[in-house]
Structure 1
Amino acid sequence: MVCYSILKTVSAPLGHFINFLRPQVHTRGFRRNFDERFGDPHPVVLRIKGLRMMIDSGKPVESGVANVLPEKEDVIYGDFASGGWKSEDGSISCGYSSFRGKRINMEDFYDVKISKIDGKTVCLFGIFDGHGGSRAAEYLKEHLFENLMKHPQFITDTKLAISETYQKTDAEFLEAESNTFRDDGSTASTAVLVGSHLYVANVGDSRTVISKAGKAIPLSEDHKPNRSDERKRIENAGGVVLWAGTWRVGGVLAMSRAFGNRLLKQFVVAEPEIQEEEVDKELEFLVIASDGLWDVVPNEDAVSLVRTIEEPEQAARKLTETAFTRGSADNITCVVVRFHHDAPDDPVCSE
């Protein structure tokens, strides 16, 4: 996305990526393609961490979260990273792909977690697309799901827990950055699976789309300033929406909701819109991605492509490559989650 460009930091670090069980970095094809078009880019450091899987130790969540695998950090030089994971019973598999693309800096982050809370296993997937710097997106990757899993009503009232956690995490980020001159912001598009209930929450213009009986169905609506309800909310709060190449809040920010963005916080809120979907046999998979994908790949195209590729990591990589070859000028990150309904009736995120 092109927003808050006057505040962009040209030396913002890439930050840490979760490497979900099978880390792979694929740079040759992208690097060759990139070099042919744009010349030799500056190398980007991808920091990939080992999987942190949460388990229930019988204590409250605040003190009962444990790491199954020790955290480790490897530094790999390149432009592109992907990986994947599959549940032990084979009911769910996911893959991710993340590419810096034509941008100098990488400001996209993603997170995938499994946690057991009150005897229930939950799955959490998220994309965080930073603007004005990478710090807000990195903070969300580090804290958003951790905060959500600690919410006392996470299992009993998941929608309330998501809404309160989004806004609480936003306030905590602003407090943590109160002594800096930066004004980073970030989107958040997340999918939380609790039993057979899928909750999709969105702030900003990242997006989640599902394939249901072969049909592409968006489970989030981009928060753009020219959306009639968003424009009304902003103007009622005393703000303005102006055209500056695209519609922008105060003529600056090209989205109407975001984490961070202290200077526009009165108008640019972090209150999520949440949609709930029942996971049945018609629900094939979901795609969560930053706008680096959606700017050039329509929902229907993304679903059609993923339906032809069984392995979600390969599907995520193909989506990333497709967005790049279609001319996306942004960072491109996506997560593909596939539901395998022919697996035994003991799904990883069981009731």
Structure 2
Amino acid sequence: MSCSVAVSNSPVFSPSSSLFCNKTSMLSSPETLTLTLSHLKPSQGSSSSSCSASSPTPSSPSSPFRLRIPKHPTGLSGPGSSSPSTVFKRKRPTRLDIPVASFCSAAPPATPSPATWRELVEIENDGYSVYCKRGRREAMEDRYSVGLNLQGDSKQAFFGVFDGHGGSKAAEFAADNLEKNVLAELMSRDGDDIEEAVKHGYLNTDSDFLKEDLRGGSCCVTALIREGNLVVSNAGDCRAVMSRGGAAEALTSDHRPSREDEKVRIENMGGYVDLCRGVWRIQGSLAVSRGFGDRHLKQWVIAEPETRVLQIQPEHEFLILASDGLWDKVSNQEAVDTVRSLCVGVDKPEPLFACKKLVEVATSRGSFDDISVMLIQLGGYI
């Protein structure tokens, strides 16, 4: 097998201009370099490791590549030339434009539109604001719920943030049903023992979800405002933080397997907690110890909330409910300071922008999770 390649004036052999030359130009060129691929048994002799196009040396008999370069006359005579000393100028082979598409089986993917990269929720209403941003998941798994003027009372409201995992079904179900289940329990108890009412509202919501035979789970944090009281509950690692005259006060405690009392509870029920890639998990799987759903871990992941009740005071400025996507990157006090700088003591309060600012800070620090932030102004409920 042989291939004839035209030789240019350059001392450096250029594959880009020579290996893609067409057949016609190779056959018509008076000066050719014949490269023969020999598959015969190599013969004994010395070998040469390199050759130069400008000063060729005979190839070794033992090399599988044999380079045969005929000696050129000092001058080349064209047709009708009368003098053998006439020298024709070598012509560079015509450059071939080979389209890139000929080497590719498919076109490069188009740049995705902004809508395919994020999903945003922006709500601003009298007394509360909500901002949610999708992380790097395929779909937003966070949900929220708001109920105002409950039972015809403008001083009664219900707020919730729900952080789903393993899909959004559990968070969506809880957001749609938890409020009515808690209110149903309150009515059945005539408003007495509000902590028990909230507890059974949570447990009933979890039981109803498990009957749906749906996968996934969800953490949550809720705030029920009733008769001047603030009732804050959580199951999982969503958190409620209140500003008391500018000082941050966490009203909930995260439910994670790393918490000592949660670890003891899980182990007493026959489960185990271990460290996986720097995170404490139940059965090597889930990084939260309470929440709705999680059927395969229901023996250890309970939906029973922890609840705190306090009377709203004038120094209670606002309440932040948010998923762990925020709290993993932003401290309680930093969150309160950010909101106060945009909402307290300014001519034009910007509560929605304050929520957005918190999400941007968490994202800039490397939070890849869905982030939901709800800001509730408490002054209107005193």
Normalised by the length of structure 1, the TM-score is 0.71
8 A contact 1:312–1:338 mirrored in 2: no
- Whichever residue aligns with residue 222 of structure 1, its letter is D
Task: For 2:367, give the aligned amino acid.
Answer: S
User: Are residue 43 (structure 1) and residue 139 (structure 2) matched?
Assistant: no
Which of 322, 325, 329 in structure 1 is aligned with 2:364? 325
Residue 335 (str. 1) matches residue 374 (str. 2):
yes
Deviation at 1:120, TM superposition (A): 7.5
Report the secondary structure of 2:369's partner residue: coil
Tell me the equivalent position of 1:150. Answer: 184
The Cα shift of 1:156 comes to 2.6
Deviation per CA, 1:152-186: give whole Å up to 9, x if none: 22733221110011011101100112xxxx53100
Which of 124, 143, 147 pairs up with 2:158?
124
Matched, 1:96 2:130: yes
Q: Deviations over 1:249-283 (max 9, x none)?
A: 00000011111001110110000000112210110
Match of 1:308 in 2: 341
Paired residue secondary structure (2:342): coil
Report if the CA contact (8 A) 1:154-1:162 is conserved: no
CA distance in 2, matches of 1:133, 1:116: 30
C-alpha distance in 2 between matches for 1:259 and 1:315: 29
Provide the rounded CA distance (Å) in 2 between the counterparts of 1:154 and 1:243: 45
The 3-state SS of whatever aligns with 1:243 is: strand
Q: 2:204 aligns with which of 168, 173, 186?
A: 168
CA distance in 1, matches of 2:283, 2:208: 24
Letter in 1 for 2:378: F
1:104 and 1:43 map into 2 onto residues whose CA distance is: 12
Judge conservation of contact 1:290–1:332 (CA < 8 Å) in 2: yes
Cα distance in 2, alignment partners of residues 142 and 176 from structure 1? 14
Distance 1:119 1:192, change over 3 A: closer
* Aligned counterpart in structure 1 of residue 121 of structure 2, from 58, 75, 81: 81
Q: Where has structure 1 moved over 6 Å in runs of 4 or more? A: none
Aligned length: 263
C-alpha displacement at 1:102, in angstroms?
2.7
The code of the aligned residue for 1:83 comes to I
Is the partner of 1:165 in helix, strand or coil?
helix
Task: Flag the 1:119–1:189 CA change in 2: closer, same or farther, 3 A.
Answer: closer
Q: Which residue of 1 aligns with 2:260?
A: 228
Matches of 1:209 and 1:148 in 2, distance apart?
22
Q: Tell me the distance in 2 between the aligned counterparts of 1:262 and 1:221.
A: 23
- The structural deviation recorded for 1:94 is 0.7
In structure 2, what is the Cα distance between the partners aligned to 1:282 and 1:41?
45
Flag the 1:85–1:120 CA change in 2: closer, same or farther, 3 A.
closer
AA of the residue aligned to 1:161: A
Greater RCO between the two (CA within 8 Å, min separation 6)? 1
- Identity percentage over the alignment? 40
1:269-308 matches, within 5 Å, as 269-308=302-341
- 1:81 Cα offset (Å): 1.9
* Partner SS for 1:308: helix
- Structure 1 unaligned residues grouped into runs of 5+: 1-38, 45-76, 87-92, 341-346
Q: Any idea what the Cα deviations from partners look like across 1:68-105, whole Å, max 9, x if unmatched? A: xxxxxxxxx9622211111xxxxxx1100000033322
- For residues 283-329 of structure 1, the C-alpha deviation after alignment (integer angstroms, 9 at most, x for no partner) is 01110000111111111110000011123222112112221122211
Q: Residue type of the partner of 1:94?
A: Y
Matched residues in 1 for 2:184 and 2:322: separation?
26
- Is the contact between residue 155 and residue 228 of structure 2 (CA under 8 Å) also seen in structure 1? no
SS at match of 1:171: helix
In structure 1, C-alpha distance between the alignment counterparts of 2:268 and 2:114, rounded to whole Å: 45
Gap change, CA 1:41 and 1:104, over 3 Å in 2: farther
Q: Which structure: greater strand fraction? A: 1
Letter in 2 for 1:324: T
Q: 1:85 to 1:154 in 2, by over 3 A?
A: farther
- Unaligned 5+ segments in structure 2 are 1-110, 344-349
* Higher Cα Rg, which structure: 2
- Contact 1:148 1:154 survives alignment (8 Å): no
2:248 partner amino acid: A
Distance 2:364 2:257 in 1: 28
Partner of 1:14: none
Match of residue 133 from structure 1: 167
**Pairwise CA distance, 1:144:** 0.6
SS in 2 for 1:248: strand
